[in-house]
A and B are shown apart, each in its own frame.
Chain A
């Protein structure tokens, strides 16, 4: 046999030997197994254990579950005569901003104003029109702010707002008018606490003369539509007041401002959002809750609730009937959309991608937020904290593209209002899964009386969308809008719940949500390392195939030579 023949035969045999056994048809494998008996033992590839704990080698480690609160924002305070309730959650709103929103940025001291970071005209409160001891002229100024946006020079999103460890989709939000830098400081890339998702919950009193000025500091046109809030189609000057570009007005261009006017006659939990290309702009985060409180004497309401959540200075009507009040704003996110503003910088190119190329009919939601964050960050700031025998008002809005099937562990809540309209007491439903359609609002009454119906007693009881996708971060659980109802006896000093399950550090490691870590702590479930043996066989197979191809080519060359 020629040299070529020898080499060819060896290569052919090697290829057959190296060819992975499981690639042969099953019937052949069974026949061969009958001839040869069981294969020899070889140790299977080992696991890679990735620990979320800090290591001496300087490897990545998880962030702390509950960051410190150096400025004591969580504590109860009296600022500018405003009683601000304690916020027992690990992360609380800035109490100086709360005070400025209650009194009005025109009525507080310069010191409070500077601490809040607001401009003097952010929330202006004017005359008491009905003489009942509280202001009834309210002028709110909102700017459009971009979070996690792109940059012509930076490699990371700028003005960052992480909704979960390592997850920073781009957002647009309405934000109160602030002054100074948008980040915590010049070294930091993190947005200031007041600039965040979701857009703030707006609170006014029934009968207030409300003006809301949209100062469009963004690079695309926007408007505001007041969904469910009593407002005239045209304002006093005959200009469009409904926020809809196709029926009431032209959009507010970059650098321009417009003032909307209304005097809502009916109380209730409502909604507001941008109405320019709403299938894109609403989903980018330009949406917030709008609450009209019942008129009461001396009713100084907290005009804005930053990031929704715990209401630290509740209205008179709320204090009459409830021990605590929470605003819960649900929003799901299609990462494919929200990444576009990071991938492009030229506003013309961004406009084309968002409005001409992105197709919302093919959208799938990937992230599921409650008050702008996904689990585990929801546990920092959106726990419903209670004591036994309390009555709690939960105002819920679903701004997402999908409905939410909100389930309360350990409790059955009563739906008191649908879309801001009170349900007749006889028609009220008490249940443990409430279905909230897109843009719908529900007011729930949570009673923590341990009667086996309203509550099953103290504990750390989950509160979450019961649809599978809603409890994941882009498919990895636990994530999404998972939060909890926590009784104070189960709450630590720092606001973190006392739990009896898995360690928390795993969920505060961004590698967990990149899918790099096992979902279990037990090392027996750690992901498997590369299978060296299989790699060796495949390399052998491909070398042999290469040799065979080389022989074939040399034969072809010879044939061509002889022909010539």
Chain B
């Protein structure tokens, strides 16, 4: 199992599959290509040296939605400079939690302030609408990408991360809370704690613990011999 399966969203995320590497047939110019996918939705895929927008969808409603409930616009910046707020991280985002209404349309503008690639990747979306269950923005160093997707009707918390190796582990993890959500994910900077913690040093630890033991012993003796 890839991630600690503790909360419902993680379990459901495990069901979704497949890769970018297993690419469907694509026709068109390098600037913009339409995936010849058997399902509807405007699965526009943009891909060039500035990055990629995958599975953008601004019109097709997920099952259980009768209309777009609301429009949201998020401007999310990412890079090393945002990591300063969370000690022990290297990469972070301007926001790590995005709360939206069920059946709403979410437009994300993802601004990369670093000189290396970053990603804003949502997992666990319905696969009949989003191939591989993903909505994916990838911005090359210094680039900005914008994409739109429509969230399903049920209350759930979705994983948002950067899948470049160690970027999620070192801070680039967020959660998309639809409705009231389904519980926090682990290790989201500013939101939730880690399951595996490092062994941080404890100042004067030995002395403090020795005093604590002695104190406990002396007070018990005093109580019993009084």
Contacts and interface: CB of A to CB of B under 8 A. Distances in A.
B19 A185 contact: yes
Interface string A68-109: 000000000000000000000000000000000000000000
Most buried by A among B21, B51, B115: B21
Interface stretch (B9-17, B96-104, B148-156): B9-17
Contacts, number: 172
B141 A180 contact: no
Interface in B22-44: 22-23, 25-30, 33
Contacts of B164: 143, 145, 182, 217
Contacts of B197: 152
Interface string A147-188: 101111111001100000000000000000101111111111
Interface stretch (A202-210, A342-350, A478-486): A342-350
A340 B115 CA distance: 27
A12 interface: no
A155 B1 CA distance: 9
Interface of A: 110-111, 113-115, 117, 119-121, 143, 145-147, 149-155, 158-159, 177, 179-189, 191-192, 195, 215-219, 253-257, 344-349
Contacts of B79: 255
A256 B138 contact: no
Given A185-B22, A215-B141, A347 B30 contact: no
Contact of A346 (B25, B88, B166): B88
A153 B186 contact: yes
B91 A255 contact: yes
Contact of B16 (A147, A150, A186): A186
18 contacts: A120-B30, A146-B166, A179-B47, A180-B21, A185-B17, A185-B21, A186-B14, A187-B17, A215-B117, A219-B90, A219-B166, A219-B170, A254-B90, A345-B170, A345-B194, A346-B87, A347-B170, A349-B199
Closest 7 CB pairs of A and B: A180-B20, A152-B194, A255-B114, A346-B88, A255-B80, A219-B90, A257-B115
Contacts of B60: none
Nearest to A152: B194
Nearest to B142: A257
A216 to B, nearest CB: 6
Nearest to A253: B80
B18 interface: yes
Contact of B25 (A111, A119, A153, A154): A111
A117 B20 contact: yes
Contacts of A151: 3, 169, 196
B198 A346 contact: yes
B5 to A, nearest CB: 10
Nearest to A111: B26
Contact of A158 (B27, B52, B169): B169
Contacts of A189: 2
A366 to B, nearest CB: 23
Contacts of B27: 111
A446 B79 CA distance: 50
Contacts of B48: 120
B94 to A, nearest CB: 15
B95 interface: no
A219 B136 CA distance: 23
Nearest to B20: A180
A488 B121 CA distance: 46
Contacts of A114: 23, 26, 47
A147 B166 CA distance: 9
A143 B116 contact: yes
Tier of interface size on chain B = 35 or more
B14 to A, nearest CB: 6
A117 B21 contact: yes
Contacts of A253: 80
B204 interface: no
Contacts of B141: 215, 257
B115 A186 contact: no
B49 A120 contact: yes
B147 to A, nearest CB: 15
Contacts of A195: 165
Interface centre among B14, B90, B195 (most CB of A within 10 A): B90
A110 B165 contact: no
A82 to B, nearest CB: 18
A216 B13 contact: no
B196 A179 contact: no
B108 interface: no
Interface string B54-94: 00000000000000000000000001100000011111000
Contacts of B14: 186-187
Nearest to B22: A185
A463 to B, nearest CB: 32
A347 B83 CA distance: 12
Nearest to A154: B3
B116 A154 contact: no
Contacts of B16: 186-187
A66 to B, nearest CB: 21
Nearest to A185: B19
Nearest to A219: B90
B88 A347 contact: yes
Nearest to A217: B116
Nearest to B35: A114
Nearest to B25: A111
A186 B21 contact: no
Contacts of B28: 110
A369 to B, nearest CB: 19
A336 B176 CA distance: 39
Interface in B170-209: 170, 186-187, 194-200
Contacts of B116: 143, 215-217, 255-257
B132 interface: yes
A111 B140 CA distance: 20
Contacts of A216: 116
A110 B26 contact: yes
Nearest to B167: A217
B190 to A, nearest CB: 14
B163 A181 contact: yes
B165 A215 contact: no
B88 A143 contact: no
B123 interface: yes
A185 B196 contact: no
A191 B25 CA distance: 23
A257 B25 CA distance: 33
B4 A154 contact: yes
A181 B19 contact: yes
A348 B79 CA distance: 18
A40 B2 CA distance: 56
Contacts of B163: 180-183
A344 to B, nearest CB: 5
A415 to B, nearest CB: 38
A152 B165 contact: no
